Amino acid sequence: MKILLISPERERKKEEAFLFRLGFLNLPYVAAATPSDCEVRIVDEAYERINFDEKVDLVGITAQTPVAPRAYQIAEEFRRRGVPVVMGGVHASVLPEEALAHVDAVVIGEAEATWPRLLEDLRQGRLQRIYRANGWVEGETIIPPRRELLNHRLYFPLKLLETTRGCPHQCDFCQVSRFFGNRYRTRPLPQIARELDAMFGPGPVMPPWARQLLSAISKDLPYFLKRRLLYIIDNNVVANKQFTIELLSLVKGYDLLWWGHAPVSIATDDRLLKLFAASGCIAVNIGFESLSPSNLKRIKKGFNKPARYSEAIKKIHGYGMGIMGTFIVGLDDDDPGVFQRTIDFILENQLDWALAFIMTPYPGTESFERLDKEGRILHRDWERYDSLNVVYQPLLLSAEELVGGMRRIWKEVFSVRSIFRRIFMAPRIHPLFYLPMNWGFHRLTKNW
Ligand code: B12
Ligand code: SF4
């Protein structure tokens, strides 16, 4: 059987497309769960053309909410040519009935649990409309993703790895705990080690003399030249401390640079911070979300304590690690002053990179249900559910103020002056990593 897996893309400006060249693991995971007698190809529409006349037996499409309308168009093109289409991923999982108006079958939840059964049904000519995962896939049963099916020349020279699934928290705007569950599942370390082996081989990076020479220019240069950069995509790398400690010790052995997501509370644990730094962590991605405690409480992220943010940032910087911070604007407590307060916070604390997104109640989240009940959902134009547009009625701001204010934050954070102050002045953390990242956003916001 010939299967074509597609990651759809909306029309994007060239500067925007640059920012998402991270690659992805979802379709490589689906490919890994496919029986070996099937031939699988992956197309990333962001950078590759879809050939609708390709002779295939099945098309599988993934979609996050903003690309769902495009996914439906693609599905219809293939179905017109008599090719059955299956959709999976977050959006179809929360709105299967909507998706079924455009595709033959929907996979709800993790592919590992249902995809082989679906393929068998297709072979037997009894494809069902809905395939629902029964519970969560255990860490041990996750088959390593088939990364070799991606065209690596299309992406930044970094590798993606997933070591856990789920998150113990239940923030009301986030789809993770509903989709992946709040039971935190860890993958077996020997399996992770095999993936790291395949991606990086064992260390060391290069002969000591060459390393010394290059390190004189920048201590990160050898890692960039040897492409030893890893993004751990887990939602929360520290939810099971014992596992994290073992994972860090494993990663350390590969002599690479990595970054991943953790809650701000990581700063209270010096032992963990020390291990993070020793394992090659160059950035902790932290969802600060808001500087207002009442906002945080309302979105069920009251465990974030804004009064301790600055101290936490200093602590993490003190271990030589940078911080990628994300914020949400447009929450119920946010008045027109929120934009300047966020800018001041980011600049004063020298966050190494930071973005503020417009509060977006994605379908299937608790926040969507709450705002819908309150009659505040403005539309269901999924393409604009991308955290850059206003999709619900804020309380203390107009939609125009919100878009304008969010853009002002980006423009100020990525102005030349701000980049210089945040990246090149003390504590001066990994400038080789943060400068290109900040510069990409500078170029994007210059066109706004
Ligand atoms: C890495 C990441 C990214 C990366 C890569 C995205 C990608 N395509 O994977 C980048 C940076 C590009 C990104 C961008 C965005 N992201 Co993002 N991202 C993530 C993150 C942290 C991990 C994704 C991942 O790989 N998960 C692990 C894999 C295994 O899970 P999965 O993708 O769901 O795939 C499994 C199943 O869904 C299923 N499946 C998926 N596709 C298919 C297809 C078929 C045919 C089948 C059978 C099964 C199947 O099988 C897979 C294996 O079990 C998730 C959070 C999370 N934990 O998922 C957020 C998440 C997916 N992102 C989210 C959002 C909001 C965005 C943005 C809109 C944010 C923004 N403003 O820029 C953009 C949208 C980009 C776009 N396409 O337009 C939301 C999704 C909300 C929604 N309803 O769509 C999530 C859930 C985070 C959250 N807090 O809610 N993201
Ligand atoms: S801590 Fe992060 S991943 Fe977990 S539910 Fe909250 S926002 Fe989502």
131 φ, ψ to 5°? -120, 110
- How far the first Cα of the chain sits from its last, in Å, is 47
For ligand 1, the distance from its centroid to the CA atom of residue 311, given in whole angstroms, is 31
What is the rounded distance in angstroms from the CA atom of residue 393 to the CA atom of residue 345? 26
**Per-residue model confidence (pLDDT) at position 13:** 66
87 φ, ψ to 5°? -120, 140
Provide the pairing of β-strand 105-108 with 229-232: unpaired
Determine whether the shortest distance from the Cβ of 150 to ligand 1 is under 6 A.
no
What is the rounded distance in angstroms from the CA atom of residue 346 to the CA atom of residue 409? 9
For ligand 1, the distance from its centroid to the CA atom of residue 90, given in whole angstroms, is 7
Is 45 in a helix, a strand, or coil?
A: coil
Ordered by start, the domain boundaries in the chain are 2-139, 149-446
| pLDDT at residue 14 is higher than 80 | no
For ligand 1, the distance from its centroid to the CA atom of residue 176, given in whole angstroms, is 9
> Which residue intervals of 383-430 are DSSP H helices?
399-413, 416-419
> Which residue intervals of 162-319 are DSSP H helices?
176-180, 189-200, 208-217, 221-225, 241-252, 270-278, 293-298, 309-318
Each residue of 65-79: pLDDT tens digit? 999 999 999 999 999
| Index of the ligand 2 atom closest to the CA of residue 235 | 3
Range 2-139 has CATH code 1.10.3370.10:
no
Higher pLDDT, 13 or 314: 314
Each residue of 76-134: pLDDT tens digit? 999 999 999 999 999 999 999 999 999 999 999 999 999 999 999 999 999 999 999 88
What is the rounded distance in angstroms from the CA atom of residue 66 to the CA atom of residue 146? 25
What is the rounded distance in angstroms from the CA atom of residue 53 to the CA atom of residue 152? 24
Q: Please confirm whether the linkage preceding 204 is cis (ω < 30° from 0).
A: yes
Provide the pairing of β-strand 58-62 with 281-289: unpaired
**Per-residue model confidence (pLDDT) at position 15:** 63
What is the rounded distance in angstroms from the CA atom of residue 152 to the CA atom of residue 9? 18
**Per-residue model confidence (pLDDT) at position 205:** 73
Range 149-446 has CATH code 3.40.640.10:
no
**For the residues 193-197, what does the mean pLDDT come to?**
97
**Per-residue model confidence (pLDDT) at position 18:** 66
CA 282 to chain centroid: 17
Tell me if 144 sits within 8 A of 191, measured CB to CB: yes
Is 281 in a helix, a strand, or coil?
A: strand
Determine whether the shortest distance from the Cβ of 26 to ligand 1 is under 6 A.
yes
| Index of the ligand 2 atom closest to the CA of residue 176 | 8
